[in-house]
Amino acid sequence: MDLEVEASWFLQFLHPRYCFLVFSFVIFSLLLYLVRLKPWCNCEICHDYLTSNWSKQFDNLCDWYAHLLKNSPSKTIHIHVLRNTITANPDNVEYILRTRFENYPKGKPFSMILSDFLGRGIFNVDGDLWRFQRKMANLELSKSSMVSYAFNIFNCEIKNRLVPLLYLVAGKKDEVLDLQDVFRRFSFDCICQFSFGLDPSCLELSLPMSEFAVSFDLASKLSAERAMSVSPVLWKIKRKLNIGSEKKLREAVCVINILAQDVIRQKRKLGFSNHKDLLSRFMGAVNDEPYLRDIVISFLLAGRDTVASALTSFFWLLANHPLVESEIRLEADRVIGANQELKSFEQLRELHYLQAAVYESMRLYPPIQFDSKFCQEDDVLPDGTYVRRGTRVTYHPYAMGRIEEIWGPDCLRFRPERWLKDGVFIPANPFKYPVFQAGVRVCLGKEMALVELKCLALSLVRRFQIDLATPGRTPLFSPGLTSSFRGGLPVLVRKRETPL
């Protein structure tokens, strides 16, 4: 085809008849798309969702969902306008996460929502990309030497930074400290040392929160908000035009990228072939710089926000349950010895009550309150719920912790004893407690996270009396991929008369 013929072939489509056809086709596709979304559903739940009516009765969206799920006979509900089936039924959870794992991947809609922030990182992919990253990470994280390596990192960070910081605050009368901010810095330092072999020194005294951490929180919040919108069309248009929240997200991701690239560059400079951290292992196998960036971001998200979130709610609960706190101290004195420091990882394993308290805290306040998959082929869940292909299926650990049929009539009480039999910690069925997910994609950092939580909890509880600066308030959560307290956790810190 020469140029003239090509041009006239193209021009024929500008004829009004073709323009009309194209226009009609676009409108028809849009209508079809809207029909499938059911954005007008008039059922009570969808109405309350769309009008935010729920907020008249509940502080947090997760509390409303917990209420709906508790009252549903099958423990499954539908938000039609979101094409979302939400379940708190352990049989359904097992079915989705294990029995028919292949039919419930993260799916394209989910990875699209998070792609700007998480790219091709482990949290955001299925199939071969996921298998590769899981295998590599598992090789490192399942080593028995890994836990003692992590144990040393946590204890150095606690001894050299966290405890001195709290002594400093305790020495000043009426000084209010945001414990959530401190925990984020702490867990950020730890995950960077553990995963990348680098120390960002975030917990150094009097440092402002880094630009990176602020951008990280913002990107997590804005990405989560994408997932809450009724249709992706809106955020996609805003993204194209680079306006509003999408502009902010792009800017936040830019800052994050710069840091991640810096981490990779530093690692290359130091040489990575002899190092034992996660990033070195990945760098030995992957040459693609953007892919390495995505891997770095996913591990930061995995290790920073989840741990900080678990610690924040744990200390909020302890401040409201002084008897649990003193029980933790009594157990520590018994096992480790009064006035004695924790000496080994083995000693930590003997602290059954502490382990129970940590599990109980995450039962009521799971760091990841809900998690979604996308159904590949039409299916029926064990409770009889029909799931059409393309439906988002969400399991909801936050609601599950509040369901009497799962945890008994005292399910709303913070009672570590429910995990103990003759003083020994007994784990629950992971599908009734999917705080670390369960089944095929179960969290790879679970053991490490538990060591981190227990080391920190123990060292603070034995040295300091920590009181809420604003007692009596129930937590309000900020939107984000992991749960966080809106306004942080302001506390007053005092030295104990007889520390340790």
Quick one: CA dihedral 460, 462, 468, 469, positive or negative? negative
Q: To the nearest whole angstrom, how small is the minimum distance from the Cβ of residue 369 to ligand HEM?
A: 10
Residues 6+ apart with CB under 8 A from 332: 342, 351, 354, 458, 461, 462
From 256, 295, 444, 456, residue interacting with ligand HEM (rule: CB under 6 A): 444
Pick one of 435, 456, 491, 493: the residue that binds ligand HEM (CB under 6 A): 435
Among the listed ranges 9-17, 32-40, 202-210, 445-453, the one in contact with ligand HEM (CB under 6 A) is: 445-453
- Residue 471 C-beta: closest distance to ligand HEM, Å: 25
| Site track 125-144 with ligand HEM (rule: CB under 6 A), x = hit | ---------x--x-------
Please give the Cα distance from 416 to 301 (Å, whole number): 28
User: Is residue 197 part of the contact set for ligand HEM (CB under 6 A)?
Assistant: no
Nearest to 366 by CA among 410, 421, 423, 428: 428
Cα–Cα distance measured from residue 182 to residue 202, given in angstroms and rounded to the nearest whole number: 9
Contact between 365 and 483 under an 8 Å Cβ cutoff? The reply is: yes
* Least CB distance to ligand HEM at residue 436 (A): 5
Phi, psi of 111 (to 5 degrees): -70, -25
> Are 267 and 197 spatial neighbours (Cβ–Cβ below 8 Å)?
yes
Nearer Cβ to ligand HEM (227/307): 307
Alpha-carbon distance 33 to 31, whole Å?
5
Residues of this chain, 371-410, that bind ligand HEM according to CB under 6 A: 371
Based on CB atoms, which residue is closest to ligand HEM, 122 or 328? 122
Interaction between residue 310 and ligand HEM (CB under 6 A): yes
Amino acid at 435: V
- H-only helix segments in 365-432: 397-400, 404-407
Tell whether residue 443 is a contact of ligand HEM (CB under 6 A): yes
Segment contacting ligand HEM (CB under 6 A): 95-103, 250-258, 323-331, 431-439? 431-439
> Which residues share a beta bridge with 492?
176, 467
Choose the binding region for ligand HEM from 77-85, 209-217, 415-423, 435-443 (rule: CB under 6 A). 435-443
Closer to ligand HEM at the Cβ: 85 or 306?
A: 306
Nearest residue to ligand HEM on Cβ basis: 445
The answer for 160, left when phi > 0, alpha when psi is -120 to 50, beta otherwise, is alpha
Angle between helices 107-118 and 289-300 (to 10 degrees): 100
Nearer to ligand HEM, 169 or 256 (CB): 256
CA-wise closest residue to 360 among 328, 330, 337, 336? 328
Binding window for ligand HEM (CB under 6 A); candidates: 6-14, 226-234, 252-260, 430-438: 430-438
Instruction: Choose, by CB under 6 A, the member of 436, 464, 477, 485 that binds ligand HEM.
Output: 436
Q: Count the neighbouring beta carbons within 10 Å of the beta carbon of residue 63.
A: 18
Is residue 192 classed as helix, strand or coil in its secondary structure? helix
Closer to ligand HEM by Cβ: residue 420 or 443: 443
Which of 155/437 has CB closer to ligand HEM? Answer: 437
3-class DSSP state of 489: coil
Q: How far is the CB of 29 from ligand HEM (least distance, A)?
A: 31
Position 169, amino acid: V
Identity (one letter) of the amino acid at 129? L
* Distance, first Cα to last Cα, the chain: 86
Query: Closest CB to ligand HEM among 54 and 314?
Result: 314
Interacting span for ligand HEM (CB under 6 A) from 10-18, 251-259, 337-345, 365-373: 365-373
Is 368 a binding residue for ligand HEM by CB under 6 A? The answer is yes
Inter-axis angle of helices 144-157 and 179-196, to 10 degrees?
A: 140
Residue with tokens 């056809």: 21
Nearer to ligand HEM, 54 or 272 (CB): 272
Is residue 227 part of the contact set for ligand HEM (CB under 6 A)? no
**Interface region with ligand HEM, contact rule CB under 6 A, candidates 96-104, 346-354, 367-375, 470-478:** 367-375
> Is residue 123 near ligand HEM by the rule CB under 6 A?
yes
Q: Which helix (H) or strand (E) holds 387?
A: strand 386-387
Contacts of 287 (CB under 8 A, 6+ apart): none
Query: Starting from the edge strand earliest in sequence, which strands make up the sheet with 464-468, in order?
Result: 176-178, 490-495, 464-468
Residue closer to ligand HEM (CB basis): 180 or 437:
437
Q: Is 301 in the site for ligand HEM (CB under 6 A)?
A: no
Q: What would the two tokens of residue 492 be?
A: 């007053």
CA 244 to chain centre: 25
Q: Does 297 bind ligand HEM (CB under 6 A)?
A: no
Pick 169 or 301: Cβ nearer ligand HEM: 301
Q: Near ligand HEM by CB under 6 A, which window of 24-32, 67-75, 241-249, 434-442?
A: 434-442
Instruction: Tell whether residue 163 is a contact of ligand HEM (CB under 6 A).
Output: no
Q: How many residues bind ligand HEM (CB under 6 A)?
A: 22
Residue 122 CB, nearest approach to ligand HEM (Å): 5
Helix crossing, 127-141 with 289-300: angle to 10°? 60
Which positions lie near ligand HEM, rule CB under 6 A? 122-123, 134, 137, 299, 302-303, 306-307, 310, 367-368, 371, 435-437, 441, 443-445, 448-449
